[in-house]
């Protein structure tokens, strides 16, 4: 469970960093609508969260095989 939360947190951080970077570039190019910038950053945060979940789910299956039924 700790690994899932850690991966989700990492995914959100990376997603928000990428989203912020892209929105800053957009802002420099003339996108001044703060709601649009906010939604783009939020979208990248969600993408990061999803990536974190997918990466963790992929790792989780290996752990399940190690557990032997009694």
- Per cent of the chain over pLDDT 70 is 54
| Rounded alpha-carbon distances, angstroms, from residue 50 to 11, 16, 28, 39, 70 | 7, 12, 28, 16, 34
Contact 11, 50 (CB under 8 A): yes
Residue with the larger pLDDT of the pair 44 and 4 = 44
Residue 61 confidence (pLDDT) above 60:
no
4 vs 54, higher pLDDT? 54
* pTM for this model (two decimals): 0.40
pLDDT tens figures, 6-37: 776 777 777 777 777 776 776 666 666 667 76
């Amino acid at each position: 469970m700790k690994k899932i939360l850690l991966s989700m947190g990492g995914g959100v951080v990376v997603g928000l960093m990428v989203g912020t970077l892209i929105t800053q570039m957009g802002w420099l190019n003339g996108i001044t609508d703060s709601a649009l910038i906010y939604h783009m950053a939020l979208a990248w945060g969600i993408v990061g969260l999803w990536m974190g979940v997918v990466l963790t789910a992929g790792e989780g299956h290996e752990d399940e095989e190690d557990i032997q039924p009694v």
